[in-house]
Protein backbone atom coordinates (compact mmCIF):
# COMPACT_ATOMS: atom_id res chain seq x y z
CA UNK A 1 0.00 0.00 0.00
CA UNK A 2 1.61 3.27 -1.08
CA UNK A 3 1.61 6.36 1.07
CA UNK A 4 0.32 8.61 -1.69
CA UNK A 5 -2.68 6.33 -2.36
CA UNK A 6 -4.17 5.82 1.10
CA UNK A 7 -7.35 3.93 1.80
CA UNK A 8 -9.99 5.39 4.10
CA UNK A 9 -8.86 2.96 6.82
CA UNK A 10 -5.28 4.10 6.50
CA UNK A 11 -6.24 7.78 6.68
CA UNK A 12 -8.30 7.14 9.83
CA UNK A 13 -5.37 5.23 11.29
CA UNK A 14 -2.97 8.07 10.51
CA UNK A 15 -5.02 10.73 12.27
CA UNK A 16 -5.83 8.62 15.33
CA UNK A 17 -2.54 6.85 16.05
CA UNK A 18 -0.55 7.48 19.22
CA UNK A 19 2.12 9.54 17.47
CA UNK A 20 -0.25 12.53 17.44
CA UNK A 21 -0.82 12.14 21.18
CA UNK A 22 2.92 12.11 21.79
CA UNK A 23 3.48 15.25 19.72
CA UNK A 24 0.55 17.07 21.29
CA UNK A 25 1.55 16.10 24.86
CA UNK A 26 5.12 17.24 24.23
CA UNK A 27 3.89 20.51 22.73
CA UNK A 28 1.51 21.09 25.66
CA UNK A 29 4.36 20.57 28.12
CA UNK A 30 6.53 23.09 26.25
CA UNK A 31 3.59 25.50 26.14
CA UNK A 32 3.14 25.38 29.91
CA UNK A 33 6.87 25.84 30.53
CA UNK A 34 7.10 28.83 28.20
CA UNK A 35 3.71 30.39 28.99
CA UNK A 36 5.13 33.55 30.61
CA UNK A 37 7.30 34.26 27.58
CA UNK A 38 4.43 33.53 25.18
CA UNK A 39 2.17 35.87 27.16
CA UNK A 40 4.73 38.70 27.06
CA UNK A 41 5.38 38.25 23.33
CA UNK A 42 1.70 38.19 22.40
CA UNK A 43 0.71 40.94 24.83
CA UNK A 44 3.39 43.24 23.40
CA UNK A 45 3.20 42.39 19.71
CA UNK A 46 -0.45 41.31 19.37
CA UNK A 47 -2.74 42.66 22.10
CA UNK A 48 -1.37 46.21 22.49
CA UNK A 49 -1.26 46.88 18.69
CA UNK A 50 -4.73 45.33 18.32
CA UNK A 51 -6.16 47.57 21.07
CA UNK A 52 -4.51 50.67 19.59
CA UNK A 53 -5.88 49.82 16.14
CA UNK A 54 -9.32 49.19 17.67
CA UNK A 55 -9.34 52.56 19.48
CA UNK A 56 -8.10 54.48 16.42
CA UNK A 57 -10.67 52.73 14.24
CA UNK A 58 -13.44 53.60 16.71
CA UNK A 59 -12.31 57.24 16.89
CA UNK A 60 -12.26 57.39 13.09
CA UNK A 61 -15.81 56.04 13.01
CA UNK A 62 -16.82 58.58 15.67
CA UNK A 63 -15.42 61.50 13.67
CA UNK A 64 -17.12 60.34 10.48
CA UNK A 65 -20.48 59.03 11.72
CA UNK A 66 -21.02 60.77 15.05
CA UNK A 67 -21.52 59.48 18.58
CA UNK A 68 -23.90 56.70 17.56
CA UNK A 69 -22.87 53.55 15.70
CA UNK A 70 -25.56 52.70 13.08
CA UNK A 71 -26.68 49.08 13.11
CA UNK A 72 -29.42 49.37 10.52
CA UNK A 73 -30.13 52.62 8.75
CA UNK A 74 -31.12 53.56 5.22
CA UNK A 75 -28.30 55.82 4.07
CA UNK A 76 -28.09 57.17 0.56
CA UNK A 77 -25.02 56.11 -1.44
CA UNK A 78 -24.07 59.69 -2.32
CA UNK A 79 -24.48 60.76 1.31
CA UNK A 80 -21.94 58.34 2.78
CA UNK A 81 -19.58 57.64 -0.13
CA UNK A 82 -16.89 60.12 0.98
CA UNK A 83 -17.12 59.02 4.62
CA UNK A 84 -16.87 55.37 3.65
CA UNK A 85 -13.84 56.04 1.45
CA UNK A 86 -12.05 57.81 4.31
CA UNK A 87 -13.05 55.12 6.80
CA UNK A 88 -11.99 52.30 4.47
CA UNK A 89 -8.66 53.99 3.77
CA UNK A 90 -8.00 54.41 7.48
CA UNK A 91 -8.93 50.79 8.13
CA UNK A 92 -6.50 49.60 5.43
CA UNK A 93 -3.63 51.61 6.93
CA UNK A 94 -4.39 50.32 10.44
CA UNK A 95 -4.64 46.75 9.13
CA UNK A 96 -1.19 47.03 7.52
CA UNK A 97 0.29 48.23 10.83
CA UNK A 98 -1.40 45.34 12.63
CA UNK A 99 -0.07 42.89 10.02
CA UNK A 100 3.51 44.10 10.56
CA UNK A 101 3.31 43.45 14.30
CA UNK A 102 1.65 40.09 13.64
CA UNK A 103 4.58 39.01 11.45
CA UNK A 104 7.04 40.07 14.14
CA UNK A 105 5.06 38.12 16.75
CA UNK A 106 4.95 34.90 14.70
CA UNK A 107 8.65 35.17 13.81
CA UNK A 108 9.45 35.60 17.53
CA UNK A 109 7.34 32.59 18.52
CA UNK A 110 8.89 30.40 15.82
CA UNK A 111 12.38 31.57 16.89
CA UNK A 112 11.57 30.67 20.52
CA UNK A 113 10.14 27.28 19.55
CA UNK A 114 13.26 26.27 17.60
CA UNK A 115 16.11 27.80 19.60
CA UNK A 116 14.76 27.57 23.15
CA UNK A 117 17.00 25.40 25.31
CA UNK A 118 16.53 26.65 28.86
CA UNK A 119 13.48 28.92 29.10
CA UNK A 120 14.47 31.62 26.61
CA UNK A 121 13.39 35.02 27.90
CA UNK A 122 11.13 37.59 26.29
CA UNK A 123 13.88 39.94 25.11
CA UNK A 124 15.89 37.19 23.38
CA UNK A 125 12.73 35.95 21.65
CA UNK A 126 11.65 39.29 20.17
CA UNK A 127 15.24 40.15 19.17
CA UNK A 128 15.39 36.78 17.39
CA UNK A 129 12.06 37.52 15.74
CA UNK A 130 13.36 40.92 14.64
CA UNK A 131 16.41 39.21 13.11
CA UNK A 132 14.18 37.13 10.83
CA UNK A 133 11.46 39.78 10.43
CA UNK A 134 12.10 40.74 6.78
CA UNK A 135 12.47 37.12 5.69
CA UNK A 136 9.25 36.21 7.44
CA UNK A 137 7.59 39.32 6.04
CA UNK A 138 8.50 38.22 2.51
CA UNK A 139 7.33 34.70 3.34
CA UNK A 140 3.96 36.02 4.54
CA UNK A 141 3.53 38.34 1.56
CA UNK A 142 4.21 35.52 -0.91
CA UNK A 143 1.71 33.27 0.86
CA UNK A 144 -0.95 35.98 0.82
CA UNK A 145 -0.24 36.78 -2.83
CA UNK A 146 -0.54 33.10 -3.76
CA UNK A 147 -3.88 32.79 -1.93
CA UNK A 148 -5.17 36.03 -3.48
CA UNK A 149 -4.24 35.02 -7.04
CA UNK A 150 -5.63 31.53 -6.57
CA UNK A 151 -9.01 32.91 -5.46
CA UNK A 152 -9.19 35.86 -7.87
CA UNK A 153 -8.48 33.85 -11.04
CA UNK A 154 -11.91 32.09 -11.04
CA UNK A 155 -13.62 35.50 -10.80
CA UNK A 156 -11.54 36.99 -13.63
CA UNK A 157 -12.13 34.01 -15.94
CA UNK A 158 -15.87 33.74 -15.33
CA UNK A 159 -16.67 37.47 -15.18
CA UNK A 160 -16.98 37.98 -19.00
CA UNK A 161 -19.66 35.26 -19.12
CA UNK A 162 -21.51 36.77 -16.16
CA UNK A 163 -21.43 40.27 -17.73
CA UNK A 164 -22.67 38.80 -21.00
CA UNK A 165 -25.52 37.30 -19.01
CA UNK A 166 -27.21 40.72 -18.83
CA UNK A 167 -28.20 40.19 -22.47
CA UNK A 168 -28.24 36.39 -22.58
CA UNK A 169 -29.31 34.34 -19.57
CA UNK A 170 -27.44 31.29 -20.85
CA UNK A 171 -24.11 33.07 -20.50
CA UNK A 172 -24.96 34.01 -16.92
CA UNK A 173 -25.67 30.39 -15.97
CA UNK A 174 -22.49 29.27 -17.74
CA UNK A 175 -20.49 31.95 -15.91
CA UNK A 176 -21.82 30.94 -12.48
CA UNK A 177 -21.16 27.24 -13.12
CA UNK A 178 -17.66 28.01 -14.43
CA UNK A 179 -16.90 30.12 -11.35
CA UNK A 180 -18.13 27.35 -9.04
CA UNK A 181 -15.97 24.70 -10.72
CA UNK A 182 -12.90 26.96 -10.75
CA UNK A 183 -13.40 27.85 -7.08
CA UNK A 184 -13.51 24.14 -6.16
CA UNK A 185 -10.27 23.58 -8.10
CA UNK A 186 -8.71 26.64 -6.43
CA UNK A 187 -9.63 25.40 -2.94
CA UNK A 188 -8.19 21.94 -3.69
CA UNK A 189 -4.94 23.53 -4.91
CA UNK A 190 -4.88 25.83 -1.88
CA UNK A 191 -5.18 22.89 0.54
CA UNK A 192 -2.54 20.95 -1.38
CA UNK A 193 0.09 23.68 -1.25
CA UNK A 194 -0.68 24.84 2.30
CA UNK A 195 0.09 21.29 3.45
CA UNK A 196 3.22 21.09 1.28
CA UNK A 197 4.48 24.41 2.70
CA UNK A 198 3.53 23.77 6.33
CA UNK A 199 7.20 23.57 7.45
CA UNK A 200 8.36 26.56 5.38
CA UNK A 201 8.55 29.01 8.29
CA UNK A 202 10.56 26.57 10.41
CA UNK A 203 13.03 25.92 7.60
CA UNK A 204 13.39 29.68 7.11
CA UNK A 205 14.22 30.33 10.78
CA UNK A 206 15.71 27.01 11.86
CA UNK A 207 18.00 26.53 8.86
CA UNK A 208 18.34 30.21 7.92
CA UNK A 209 17.25 29.57 4.33
CA UNK A 210 15.79 32.01 1.82
CA UNK A 211 12.04 32.37 1.30
CA UNK A 212 11.79 30.43 -1.97
CA UNK A 213 14.23 27.78 -0.77
CA UNK A 214 12.15 27.31 2.41
CA UNK A 215 9.07 26.57 0.30
CA UNK A 216 11.04 24.07 -1.78
CA UNK A 217 12.57 22.25 1.22
CA UNK A 218 9.19 22.01 2.96
CA UNK A 219 7.60 20.60 -0.20
CA UNK A 220 10.38 18.03 -0.51
CA UNK A 221 9.92 16.95 3.12
CA UNK A 222 6.15 16.55 2.84
CA UNK A 223 5.97 15.06 -0.67
CA UNK A 224 5.25 11.34 -0.43
CA UNK A 225 3.67 11.78 3.01
CA UNK A 226 1.11 14.45 2.12
CA UNK A 227 -1.92 12.54 3.40
CA UNK A 228 -0.20 11.87 6.70
CA UNK A 229 0.57 15.55 7.27
CA UNK A 230 -2.92 16.50 6.10
CA UNK A 231 -4.45 14.09 8.64
CA UNK A 232 -2.42 15.57 11.49
CA UNK A 233 -3.30 19.14 10.49
CA UNK A 234 -7.00 18.24 10.27
CA UNK A 235 -6.98 16.75 13.76
CA UNK A 236 -5.09 19.74 15.19
CA UNK A 237 -7.49 22.07 13.39
CA UNK A 238 -10.50 20.32 14.93
CA UNK A 239 -9.06 20.76 18.42
CA UNK A 240 -8.42 24.46 17.81
CA UNK A 241 -11.86 24.86 16.22
CA UNK A 242 -13.48 23.50 19.39
CA UNK A 243 -11.45 25.93 21.53
CA UNK A 244 -12.39 28.85 19.26
CA UNK A 245 -16.07 27.88 19.36
CA UNK A 246 -16.11 27.87 23.17
CA UNK A 247 -14.61 31.34 23.41
CA UNK A 248 -16.69 32.51 20.44
CA UNK A 249 -19.92 31.61 22.26
CA UNK A 250 -18.77 33.57 25.32
CA UNK A 251 -17.91 36.58 23.10
CA UNK A 252 -21.29 36.44 21.35
CA UNK A 253 -23.17 36.26 24.66
CA UNK A 254 -21.32 39.32 26.00
CA UNK A 255 -22.03 41.21 22.78
CA UNK A 256 -25.73 40.38 23.08
CA UNK A 257 -25.84 41.60 26.68
CA UNK A 258 -24.69 45.03 25.50
CA UNK A 259 -26.82 45.24 22.33
CA UNK A 260 -30.14 43.61 23.38
CA UNK A 261 -31.46 46.72 25.21
CA UNK A 262 -30.94 48.84 22.08
CA UNK A 263 -32.40 46.11 19.85
CA UNK A 264 -35.51 46.00 22.00
CA UNK A 265 -35.72 49.80 22.04
CA UNK A 266 -35.37 50.00 18.27
CA UNK A 267 -38.09 47.42 17.65
CA UNK A 268 -40.39 49.08 20.19
CA UNK A 269 -40.03 52.46 18.50
CA UNK A 270 -40.70 50.86 15.12
CA UNK A 271 -43.88 49.20 16.41
CA UNK A 272 -45.18 52.42 17.98
CA UNK A 273 -44.29 54.66 15.03
CA UNK A 274 -45.18 52.03 12.46
CA UNK A 275 -41.98 52.59 10.52
CA UNK A 276 -38.71 50.78 9.89
CA UNK A 277 -36.38 49.62 12.62
CA UNK A 278 -33.72 52.30 13.19
CA UNK A 279 -31.36 50.92 15.80
CA UNK A 280 -28.25 52.77 16.97
CA UNK A 281 -25.75 51.89 19.68
CA UNK A 282 -23.85 54.62 21.58
CA UNK A 283 -20.14 54.67 20.74
CA UNK A 284 -19.15 54.21 24.40
CA UNK A 285 -21.18 50.98 24.62
CA UNK A 286 -19.72 49.80 21.34
CA UNK A 287 -16.19 50.54 22.64
CA UNK A 288 -16.76 48.63 25.90
CA UNK A 289 -18.24 45.64 24.08
CA UNK A 290 -15.46 45.69 21.48
CA UNK A 291 -12.76 45.94 24.15
CA UNK A 292 -14.13 42.87 25.97
CA UNK A 293 -14.25 40.96 22.67
CA UNK A 294 -10.61 41.95 22.03
CA UNK A 295 -9.65 40.46 25.41
CA UNK A 296 -11.51 37.22 24.66
CA UNK A 297 -9.87 37.05 21.23
CA UNK A 298 -6.47 37.56 22.84
CA UNK A 299 -7.06 34.71 25.31
CA UNK A 300 -8.17 32.42 22.47
CA UNK A 301 -5.12 33.21 20.35
CA UNK A 302 -2.83 32.96 23.38
CA UNK A 303 -3.77 29.27 23.48
CA UNK A 304 -4.03 28.49 19.78
CA UNK A 305 -1.10 30.34 18.18
CA UNK A 306 1.83 29.32 20.46
CA UNK A 307 0.51 25.77 20.92
CA UNK A 308 0.03 25.36 17.17
CA UNK A 309 3.53 26.69 16.46
CA UNK A 310 5.04 24.30 19.03
CA UNK A 311 3.12 21.32 17.61
CA UNK A 312 4.20 21.97 14.01
CA UNK A 313 7.77 22.60 15.23
CA UNK A 314 7.90 19.20 16.95
CA UNK A 315 6.35 17.64 13.86
CA UNK A 316 9.02 19.32 11.71
CA UNK A 317 11.85 18.11 13.96
CA UNK A 318 10.46 14.56 13.83
CA UNK A 319 10.52 14.78 10.05
CA UNK A 320 14.15 15.92 10.14
CA UNK A 321 15.09 13.05 12.44
CA UNK A 322 13.12 10.56 10.34
CA UNK A 323 10.93 9.53 13.29
CA UNK A 324 7.58 10.65 11.93
CA UNK A 325 4.97 7.95 11.18
CA UNK A 326 7.05 4.98 12.24
CA UNK A 327 4.43 2.40 13.18
CA UNK A 328 4.89 -1.26 13.92
CA UNK A 329 4.75 -3.07 10.59
CA UNK A 330 2.25 -0.63 9.10
CA UNK A 331 4.14 2.42 7.94
CA UNK A 332 7.74 2.63 6.75
CA UNK A 333 10.16 5.52 6.68
CA UNK A 334 10.23 7.29 3.36
CA UNK A 335 13.64 6.46 1.95
CA UNK A 336 13.75 9.68 -0.06
CA UNK A 337 13.44 11.85 3.05
CA UNK A 338 15.30 9.86 5.69
CA UNK A 339 19.05 9.60 5.79
CA UNK A 340 19.92 6.06 6.78
CA UNK A 341 23.08 5.46 8.82
CA UNK A 342 25.92 3.82 6.92
CA UNK A 343 26.70 0.41 8.29
CA UNK A 344 30.31 -0.34 9.03
CA UNK A 345 31.74 -3.33 7.23
CA UNK A 346 33.97 -5.55 9.30
CA UNK A 347 36.50 -7.73 7.55
CA UNK A 348 38.65 -10.30 9.32
CA UNK A 349 42.15 -11.02 8.06
CA UNK A 350 44.00 -14.07 9.26
CA UNK A 351 47.72 -13.62 9.89
CA UNK A 352 49.20 -16.87 11.04
CA UNK A 353 47.39 -18.00 14.14
CA UNK A 354 46.11 -14.50 15.03
CA UNK A 355 43.06 -12.72 13.69
CA UNK A 356 43.38 -9.06 12.69
CA UNK A 357 40.10 -7.10 12.51
CA UNK A 358 39.88 -3.96 10.38
CA UNK A 359 36.90 -1.65 10.05
CA UNK A 360 35.94 -0.01 6.82
CA UNK A 361 33.57 2.88 6.61
Give the mean model confidence (pLDDT) for residues 258-269. 66
Q: What is the pLDDT of residues 43-53, one digit of tens each?
A: 999 999 988 88
What proportion of the chain, given as a percentage, has pLDDT over 90?
A: 44
Least confident segment among 70-79, 112-121, 158-167, 244-253: 70-79
Predicted local distance difference test score (pLDDT) of residue 348:
47
Band (24; pLDDT cuts 50, 70, 90) = very high
Q: Does residue 114 register a pLDDT over 50?
A: yes
Q: Does residue 154 register a pLDDT over 50?
A: yes
Is residue 49 a contact partner of residue 101, using CB atoms and an 8 Å limit? Answer: yes
Q: Does residue 85 register a pLDDT over 60?
A: yes
Global confidence as pTM: 0.76
Amino acid sequence: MKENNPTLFKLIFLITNMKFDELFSKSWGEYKNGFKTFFKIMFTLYFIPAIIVFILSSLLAFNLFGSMVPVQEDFGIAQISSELILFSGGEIILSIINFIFMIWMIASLVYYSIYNKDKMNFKTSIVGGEKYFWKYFGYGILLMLFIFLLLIVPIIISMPFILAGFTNQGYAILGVLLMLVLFIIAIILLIKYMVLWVFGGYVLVGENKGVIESFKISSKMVRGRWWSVFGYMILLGLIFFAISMCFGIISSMISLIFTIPYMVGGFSEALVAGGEVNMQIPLTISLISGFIQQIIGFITNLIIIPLGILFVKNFYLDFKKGKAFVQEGFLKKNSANVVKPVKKKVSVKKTGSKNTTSKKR
